[in-house]
Homo-oligomer: A and B are copies of this chain.
Amino acid sequence: METLFSHRSIRKFKAKAVEEDIVNFILEAGMRASNTGNMQAYSIVCTADEALLRELAPCHFNQPASKAPVQLTFCADFNRFSKWCRQRNAEPGYDNFLSFLVGMTDALLAAQNCCIAAEEKGLGICYLGTTLYKAEAIIDILNLPLGVVPVITVVMGYPDEEPELVDRLPLYGVVHRERYHDYSEEEIDKIYAEKEALPSTANFIRENRKDTLAQIFTDNRYPKAVNEDISKTLLAVLAKQGFMNNGK
Q: What is A's interface to B at a CB cutoff of 8 Å?
A: 1, 4-5, 7, 9, 24, 27-29, 31-34, 36-40, 42-49, 52, 75, 79-81, 83-85, 87-94, 96-99, 101-102, 104-105, 108-109, 111-113, 115-117, 120, 125-127, 129, 132, 141-145, 148, 151-152, 166-169, 171, 173-183, 185, 188-189, 191-192, 211-215, 217-219, 221-225, 227-232, 234-235, 245-247
Docked Cα-Cα span, A214 to B93, in Å, equals 12
Give the chain B neighbours of A109 by CB distance below 8 A: 108, 111-112, 127
Given known A-B contacts A4-B116, A167-B38, A94 and B227 have beta carbons under 8 A apart: yes
Say which residue of B1, B96, B105, B235 sits within 8 Å of A97 (CB atoms).
B235
Give the chain B neighbours of A223 by CB distance below 8 A: 93
Give the chain B neighbours of A5 by CB distance below 8 A: 28-29, 32
Other 5 A-B pairs with CB < 8 A, given A4-B33, A40-B174, A94-B224? A1-B117, A5-B28, A80-B174, A93-B218, A224-B247
Given known A-B contacts A88-B215, A90-B215, A175-B27, A43 and B97 have beta carbons under 8 A apart: no
Given known A-B contacts A38-B167, A218-B93, A43 and B180 have beta carbons under 8 A apart: yes
In the complex, the chain B residue whose C-beta lies closest to that of A97 is B231
Interface pair B4/A113, CB less than 8 Å apart: yes
A-B contact pairs, 11 of them (CB 8 A): A1-B120, A4-B29, A5-B28, A9-B34, A31-B171, A34-B127, A42-B174, A45-B179, A91-B224, A143-B180, A225-B247
Say which residue of B48, B129, B183 sits within 8 Å of A105 (CB atoms).
B129
In the complex, the chain B residue whose C-beta lies closest to that of A48 is B178
Interface pair B42/A171, CB less than 8 Å apart: no
Give the chain B neighbours of A229 by CB distance below 8 A: 247
Docked Cα-Cα span, A145 to B176, in Å, equals 13
Interface pair B234/A180, CB less than 8 Å apart: no
Give the chain B neighbours of A28 by CB distance below 8 A: 5, 171
Interface pair A212/B152, CB less than 8 Å apart: no
Give the chain B neighbours of A117 by CB distance below 8 A: 1, 4
Distance (whole angstroms) from the CB of A187 to the closest CB of chain B: 9
